[in-house]
Structure 1
Amino acid sequence: MTLSNTPSTLLFVPGLRDHVAEHWQTLLEAKLRAAGHKAVSVPPLEVDKLSCAARVAALDKTINAIEGPVILVAHSAGVMITVHWARRHTRKIHGALLATPADLDTPLPSGYPTREVLQENGWLPCPRNPLPFPSIVAASRDDPLASFERVAGMAADWGGRLVDLGEVGHLNPAAGFGPWPMAEALIHELI
């Protein structure tokens, strides 16, 4: 079975920067939709952009609008939105690709929200309990937003299969990704 003929809807969960035109999630969603596949993404927030509760509510609203099986495709803080959602909601999810999660429990580089701001907005502590659905956690060896060891620990705690991507930075346009062909292969493993 290919991605284009699976009955599942792929739901893309972007990080805090929302939809970036050159991002692999945006490009893959457009590619799949053009091929007739059911692919949607959580819409950007207009207010409360740093609120974890608002992000989780937006994810929940989008999930509830989908009939049939759902596969989540999350990146960066989108992974944290996903794990916060899983702790609070019971909708069955077919599986999730959790790509380069941001380690919000550790101070982020300059230009990102501080731990204090993240705490005030409900992000901390990040859930580490087992997820109620199969997951693949894709980790980078040189991600500025999370060490490989920390992501490996998250994957173990969540019950996910860890995939070592090598040195791919944060797997975003700043790290040289546009398209990320491996995403399709990893999603296919969840079908």
Structure 2
Amino acid sequence: MAATVLILPGLGNSGPEHWQSWLQGRHPSFRRVEQADWDAPVLADWVETLERAVAASSAPVVLIAHSLSCILVAHWAARGAETGSADKIAAALLVAPPDVESPALTPPEVHGFGPVPTDPLPFRTVVLASRTDPYCSVGRACGFAVGWGADFIEAGDLGHINTESGHGPWPDGERLVLDLLKDIEP
């Protein structure tokens, strides 16, 4: 059975030129999880929306998260471990997690996602971060990966790995997703 791939954009959604939108265009079976409010996120609402999306899948799920949704996955996994829904996750790629606990680095709209859970995630996880991300130091992102029990990729000087940093088409990201899918296919 093929995996269900869920694309999880961050604050503001991923616009048409963003690498997540490009990836979805190249792989139409990948589904974007649509949040009710992209600009004023409420953690409980985002967690519930992700819970519904995972529950709707009969196949193993791969999560492809960017920015704020990386932190969403950590919060959801803590809840999903209690409900059993986290067992449906085969793997997750978490790209450019922001430091939502830092008022100096992140906007106030995301601070309700703190504190960041640091328990190990109950599924294979890869965290990818940039040395030049304005929303999180690479050391802090690596700390998230360690707490989550994730593999960590320090990707160089890629900014926030979004449209503003030149990441519309992102073949390296696509390769990571396809490698995760290959690893979980029987």
Give TM-score, length-normalised by structure 2: 0.88
Alpha-carbon contact 1:13-1:74 (below 8 Å) kept: yes
- Cα distance between partner residues in 2 of 1:166 and 1:44: 30
AA partner of residue 125 (structure 1): P
AA aligned to 1:14 is P
**Cα distance between partner residues in 2 of 1:109 and 1:16:** 14
- Kindly state the Cα deviation for residue 145 of structure 1 after the two structures are TM-superposed: 0.3
Cα 1:108–1:11 shift into 2, 3 Å? farther
1:31 counterpart = 2:26: yes
Aligned mates of 2:99, 2:179 — CA distance in 1: 25
The residue matched to 2:64 in structure 1 has which SS? strand
Aligned match of 2:168 in 175, 178, 181? 178
Gap change, CA 1:156 and 1:11, over 3 Å in 2: same
Does the CA contact (< 8 Å) of 1:136 and 1:186 recur in 2?
no
Return the letter of the residue paired with 2:45: A
| Counterpart-to-counterpart distance in 1, 2:116 and 2:70 | 10
Which consecutive residues of structure 2, in runs of 5 or more, have no partner in the other structure? 182-186
1:95 to 91, 96, 99: 91
Identity of aligned residues (%): 37
Give the distance between the partners of 2:48 and 2:9, measured in 1 at CA. 14
Q: Corresponding residue for 2:116?
A: 126
Gaps of 5+ in 1: 1-5
Q: How far did residue 46 of structure 1 move?
A: 4.2
| Number of residue pairs the alignment of both structures matches | 176
SS in 1 for 2:141: helix
Residue 55 (1) aligns with residue 51 (2): no
Q: Any residues of structure 2 matched to 1:26-175 within 5 Å, and which?
A: 26-33=21-28, 38-46=29-37, 49-89=40-80, 90-91=84-85, 92=87, 93-109=89-105, 112-113=107-108, 118=111, 121=112, 123-175=113-165
Give the superposition deviation at 1:14: 0.6
Structure that is richer in helix per residue = 2
Q: Which SS does the other structure have where 1:137 is aligned? A: strand
